[in-house]
Amino acid sequence: MTNSRSPQISSHLSSSQESEWDDVLPVPKLRFSVASVLVFCLAVLCFANSYDGDFVLDDYVAVLYNKDLLPETPLSAIFAHDFWGNKLDYRSHKSYRPLTTMTYRWNYAWAGSMQPEGFHVVNIVLHGLVSVIFLAVFSVLMSGYQVDQESARPVFASPRAALLCAVLFAVHPIHTESVAGIVGRADLLCALTFLLSFLLYARACLPTSCLVSYRSQVLLPGVSSCLVSYRPDSFSLVSILASMCLCVVSTFCKEQGITVIGICSAFDIIVVCEVDPFHWLGLNKASRSKEDKLKKFNRPRWVNGLIQRHLILFITGVLVLNIRLRVMGSMPIFDVNFIPHAYVNGTIYRVLNYNYLYAINIWLLLNPWWLCCEWSMGCIPVITSLADPRILAVIALWTGFGAIVFHCCNGKVTHDRRILITSLAVLGVPFLPASNLLFRVGFVIAERILYLSCAGFCMLVVLGARHICYKFHSTARQMVTAGFACLIAVFVLRSIQRSNEWRVPLALYTSGDKVCPNNAKIQMGQAMYYDAINKTDAAIIKYRRAIELNSQDYASMLYLAVIFRREGEMLEAEQLLERSVAIRSDNVEALMDLGVVRAELKRNELAETSFLEAIREDNKCVKCYFNLGNFYRGTGRSTEAISAWRNATDLYPRYTPAWKNAILLLIDLKKYDKAIEVGIEALKALPKETNLMFHLANTYIMVDKFQESEDLFLAGLQIDPHSAKFHHNLGVLYHRWGNTDQAEVSFTRAVELEPTDATYLQNLHLIQAKIRNNA
């Protein structure tokens, strides 16, 4: 973009009027390049401390445990699975974001491991880029798409207003979840392609004939620029089609991307065609007479182009929705405990609850101090009475909105009013998919959903500040300057603090507990963290609290049962697992763990039933086959055990425990040749797995294949030279092979590494005694 002082083509005010409109704001007038650097640095500064954060919340499922990120998983799986790496069946939430998952896969490929730092850095940089692009978008939204007359480059119009909007957007704490949470990359990529799609559409509405013809125009003496309005009846088809392609890309980064069609439509009507939408609805009588007078001349000029462009928008929307519905297969089914407001009895109460949630979302934009990582499961109680005082928040919401609409409906459609209407569109349209108006969504409130809508909020704030400065002049300018300086400073500090909370799971859950102490999911999150750091007692307390808050919390029952199983409290574990399965009969993990507990309690028939039921629910559950094999081994059904482990390794060839158990069982059965065959196959899948090398090398000793055994032991020691068991068993091999000197060296090394191991010491003494006797 070039400086706004350059000659330009405009769709709005003259350059002097526009400068006067923008100059009212007490903000420095910067070149686009300087403003971009400032916005990018502020955006990165606010969230930079999250770069070394852990995986938190949904990051575990979408990234850490998502097999679609692994190089051995076919690339096509990304397009066949949901965002969490699961089949798009009836159990899926139908979040289909293959392009976002693709970037996670690239992250993994570049790093070679699941280290969170690389994922976080990409998110932080993406937020900086989105904030810079918003700088250009705010310029277009406020002053139309303008082009430099000499270089044909976009002009940075309304630089003060655009800069202030972009700074507010860049530092707003509501973005913390999208930036500091790795899963938030879906919002960042969606926003990036969303904005590029919009900019292409805005440029497409400025016809190429204008961009070419102005170069040959002769300017009048003293005239430094030529201002040419949009020609709504003409547009660039190539640019619009490119814009729609980016819309498709945005949608497959996150579902919200499709709403760029609504923003393009609003921009086309309000800015390009300069139509008053409230006049269309019969609400603005003040502008009706003028438009009626010009109806005969104006309508043919813009209606044809508007209809053609909207036909392209409509076809794109229908195609994207059709593809999306085909991928989903059916609408997702959500648990009432996660979204109780959507299952309230009675239309009136459901509408009240939805509107109360809208009010909460607006409040979070106004007051981002009240943020929480999880808003479901009792965080916001359902409104069930007309006497509930929270209804006042709904009244306040619609009173404020009504006042804005009333202002838009009265008087001429000025430049300010067009920006006001556009701001409302940017605030509301991207929020539509989360509003529960079109379909039921799987969350109560999600701060990341406000990532794009925050831009409309920032425009409203700046427009209000501009109005105050214009009305009250110098005194107001000083107050507005001080106010924005304080607001930006507070936002920056709050964003830094909030992103720091997102670095560590316990800090995140603790902050959420302060906002929503009755949220069962937050209690469960704290319990899971305590369990991971071996604070078992604290974990049990938190799991019990979660179940107390939500008697249908099958997940907390499952995880608490796992702790009791680990602690040897099998009966209590069984009771919890039975309750969990009764609530969610298709919970594969609960069914599998119930089988494990019943096997420990020697309830073999019930145990086998649980394992087989888990496999019926998910016939690709690797752990189910593994535990079923362990059960068969424990009950003396060796052939079935080996078959179950084979199923596990067929599904996931890198599953070491199944290979290991199969080899050990075959050794116990003295089927050494078969054990060697399985071991060789296992090492093809896991060529650097020292555990498998160790067991296969031992098997070679048993059949006197000493050279093969030595090769494997030495290969294992190259990978792990400090493995005492490898040195010891290599000594055993040399002893069996008749090489006592080498045996002594290996035994000695084993004892050096683990001097307290009685077996190593005994074998070293025996070989030394044998050497002395032979001498």
Q: Please report which confidence band the pLDDT of residue 467 belongs to, taking 50, 70 and 90 as the band edges.
A: confident
Q: Is the pLDDT of residue 284 over 60?
A: no
Q: Is the pLDDT of residue 742 over 80?
A: yes
- Report the range of poorest mean pLDDT among 405-409, 653-657, 739-743: 405-409
Q: What's the rounded Cα separation, in Å, for the pair 601 and 617?
A: 24
Residue 18: predicted pLDDT: 53
Please enumerate, as own/partner, the contacts of 50-53 that have beta carbons within 8 Å and a separation of 24 or more.
50/120, 50/123, 50/124, 50/179, 50/180, 50/499, 50/500, 50/502, 50/503, 51/117, 51/120, 51/121, 51/124, 52/116, 52/117, 52/120, 52/503, 53/116, 53/120, 53/180, 53/499, 53/502, 53/503, 53/504
Tokens of 692: 């498998």
Q: Please report which confidence band the pLDDT of residue 281 belongs to, taking 50, 70 and 90 as the band edges.
A: low
Residue 308: predicted pLDDT: 86
Alpha helix ranges (H) inside 9-115: 15-23, 32-47, 59, 76-80, 98-111
Q: What's the rounded Cα separation, in Å, for the pair 308 and 317?
A: 14
Q: Which residue has the higher pLDDT, 412 or 123?
A: 123
Q: Are the C-beta atoms of residues 163 and 72 closer than 8 Å to each other?
A: no
Q: Is the pLDDT of residue 299 over 60?
A: no
Average pLDDT over residues 187-197: 95
Tokens of 573: 């574990």
689 in the Ramachandran plot: left (φ > 0), alpha (ψ -120 to 50) or beta? Answer: beta
- CA-CA-CA-CA torsion sign (112, 621, 562, 518): positive
User: Which residue carries 């530092």 as its tokens?
Assistant: 171
Q: Is the pLDDT of residue 217 over 70?
A: no
Q: Are the C-beta atoms of residues 380 and 341 closer than 8 Å to each other?
A: yes
Residue 557: predicted pLDDT: 93
* 97-145 tens-digit pLDDT: 899 999 999 988 888 778 888 899 999 999 999 999 999 999 888 877 7
Residue type, 227: L
Q: What's the rounded Cα separation, in Å, for the pair 728 and 722?
A: 11
Tokens of 589: 């993990």
- Report the range of poorest mean pLDDT among 132-146, 192-206, 305-319, 399-413: 399-413
Q: What's the rounded Cα separation, in Å, for the pair 44 and 302?
A: 42
Percent of the chain whose pLDDT exceeds 70: 89
What pTM did the predictor assign? 0.79
Residue 741: predicted pLDDT: 86
* 623-656 tens-digit pLDDT: 999 999 999 999 999 999 999 999 999 988 889 9
Q: Please report which confidence band the pLDDT of residue 496 belongs to, taking 50, 70 and 90 as the band edges.
A: very high
* 429-443 tens-digit pLDDT: 999 888 887 777 777
CB-based burial label for 470 (10 Å; 0-12, 13-18, 19+): middle
CB-based burial label for 223 (10 Å; 0-12, 13-18, 19+): exposed
Tokens of 705: 């294949």
Least Cα distance to 418 among 31, 18, 697 occurs for 18
Q: Please report which confidence band the pLDDT of residue 738 belongs to, taking 50, 70 and 90 as the band edges.
A: confident
Tokens of 91: 């159990």
Average pLDDT over residues 269-295: 60
Contact partners, residue 141, CB within 8 Å, separation at least 6: 267, 271, 419, 422, 423, 426, 459
Average pLDDT over residues 146-168: 79
Q: What's the rounded Cα separation, in Å, for the pair 559 and 590?
A: 9
Tokens of 414: 């000025």
Q: Is the pLDDT of residue 416 over 90?
A: no
Q: Which residue has the higher pLDDT, 183 or 286?
A: 183
Q: Are the C-beta atoms of residues 747 and 767 closer than 8 Å to each other?
A: yes
Average pLDDT over residues 763-775: 81
Tokens of 666: 């075959």
Q: What's the rounded Cα separation, in Å, for the pair 116 and 107?
A: 9
Give whole-number Cα distances, 69 to 103, 116, 118, 503, 620, in Å.
9, 13, 14, 22, 18
Q: Which residue has the higher pLDDT, 207 or 607?
A: 607
User: Which residue carries 């909030």 as its tokens?
Assistant: 498
Residue 83: predicted pLDDT: 84
Contact partners, residue 42, CB within 8 Å, separation at least 6: 131, 167, 170, 171, 492
Q: Is the pLDDT of residue 223 over 50?
A: no
N- to C-terminal Cα separation, the chain: 90
Rounding to the nearest 10 degrees, give the CA dihedral for residues 211, 212, 215, 217: -90
Q: Is the pLDDT of residue 774 over 70?
A: yes
Give whole-number Cα distances, 395 to 297, 381, 401, 420, 472, in Å.
43, 18, 10, 21, 30
Q: Is the pLDDT of residue 221 over 80?
A: no
Q: Which residue has the higher pLDDT, 91 or 31?
A: 31
In whole numbers, what is the pLDDT of the chain averaged over residues?
Answer: 84
Q: Please report which confidence band the pLDDT of residue 499 belongs to, taking 50, 70 and 90 as the band edges.
A: very high
Q: Is the pLDDT of residue 354 over 70?
A: yes
CB-based burial label for 479 (10 Å; 0-12, 13-18, 19+): middle
Q: What's the rounded Cα separation, in Å, for the pair 561 and 617?
A: 21
Q: Is 87 helix (H, G, I), strand (E, B) or coil?
A: strand
Q: Please report which confidence band the pLDDT of residue 345 belongs to, taking 50, 70 and 90 as the band edges.
A: confident
* 698-715 tens-digit pLDDT: 999 888 899 999 999 999
* 12-68 tens-digit pLDDT: 454 455 556 677 788 888 888 899 999 999 999 999 999 888 888 888 888 888 888
Please enumerate, as own/partner, the contacts of 473-477 that have beta carbons within 8 Å and a separation of 24 or more.
477/24, 477/26
CB-based burial label for 294 (10 Å; 0-12, 13-18, 19+): exposed
Average pLDDT over residues 478-485: 86
Q: Which residue has the higher pLDDT, 151 or 362?
A: 362
264 in the Ramachandran plot: left (φ > 0), alpha (ψ -120 to 50) or beta? Answer: alpha
Residue 232: predicted pLDDT: 61
Average pLDDT over residues 214-221: 35
Residue 222: predicted pLDDT: 38
Residue 19: predicted pLDDT: 55
Q: Are the C-beta atoms of residues 509 and 522 closer than 8 Å to each other?
A: yes
Q: Is the pLDDT of residue 540 over 90?
A: yes
Residue type, 752: E
Residue 607: predicted pLDDT: 92
Residue 225: predicted pLDDT: 40
